[in-house]
Amino acid sequence: MKNDIWDEISSFLNGLRCEKINRKSYIQFQEFKDIQLKKKMKKENVIKIINHMNAEDKRKFKQYEEILEEEAFTSELRAYCQGYVDCIQLLAGLGILKQSPDIEKIINGMK
């Protein structure tokens, strides 16, 4: 049951986070755009280095790159979900949402 709840919530939040980026409420930080530009500028240098690597080193580098991307994605998802948990707890603390065992189950399912 715990995983089923988390899977549904995760799927819903992931859809909001990744698929609906053209909505008016979507936030884009200038710092993120700046780091994307830095990354693009450095990528050319990295490609030159990779082109001089042997096949085994390229494979190892690609595996490491995939792990970094997965880590970044997971970290972003965790932060996004933490924001939702914080909002739920804020609304409950203000009395806007009534305390419910279902809310606690959802929050505990995200931990």
The per-residue pLDDT for range 22-39, each reduced to its tens digit, is: 667 667 789 988 999 999
Where do we find the tokens 């919530």?
9
Domain edges within the chain = 30-110
Q: Is 55 exposed, middle or buried (0-12, 13-18, 19+ CB in 10 A)?
A: exposed
Neighbours of 38 (CB within 10 A): 10
Residue 72: what pLDDT? 92
Is 11 within 8 Å of 78 (Cβ atoms)?
A: no
43 confidence band (pLDDT: 50, 70, 90): very high
pLDDT per residue as tens digits for the range 60-110: 999 999 999 999 988 988 888 888 888 888 888 888 877 777 767 766 766
DSSP 11-60: HHHHIIIII-TTSTT----HHHHHHHHHHHHHHHHHHHHHHTS-HHHHHH
| pTM (two decimals) | 0.62
